[in-house]
Amino acid sequence: MRESEAYKQAHPCTGIFRVAAEGSQTRDGGVIVRGALGVEFRLADGSKVAGARVGDCAVYPDGTMAQVVTGAGKANSQMALVGSRLSNGDEIINTSQGSLLLLQRKDVAWPDDFLPDVEN
């Protein structure tokens, strides 16, 4: 336990990345309709939603679709995150679940494939 506390003190949290799920919305009005992460979350109202991952789709009001193209990287099961980019340049802006998140810690680098910059 002391080792864990020492690590936390040496590397304080500097950021939080929330995992996207079914129902997550995008900046341009899309909604993640089916999550394929293989993890389910129970929401406050008792309903369940599946976690989203790279390759899952957002559907827009006009019926168009876009795929999630960036996420937490291979080491993190390609989880889609708030901040993940989509194939049309859009971005996930929220998530319906609050139980799974990733912490950014001072002086601890993410893998190169963690939310990489993308060209549209």
pLDDT of 119: 66
The Cα 88–Cα 85 span in angstroms is 8
Per DSSP, the residues of 18-69 read: EBPBTT-BBTTS-EE----SS-EEE-TTS-EEEBPBTT-EEE-TTS-EEEB-
Q: Phi-psi bin for 15: left (phi > 0), alpha (psi -120 to 50), beta? A: beta
| The pLDDT value given to residue 32 | 98
Which residues is 92 bridged to in the sheet? Answer: 26
Residue 39 C-alpha from the chain's centroid:
12
pLDDT tens sequence across 103-117 = 999 988 888 888 988
Name the fold adopted by 22-105: Tumour Suppressor Smad4 (2.60.200)
Q: Is the pLDDT of residue 120 over 60?
A: no
Half-sphere exposure of 111 (CA within 13 A, CB side): 11
Q: What is the pLDDT of residues 43-95, one digit of tens each?
A: 999 999 999 999 999 999 999 999 999 999 999 999 999 999 999 999 999 99
Query: What confidence category does residue 19 fall into, taking pLDDT thresholds of 50, 70 and 90?
Result: very high
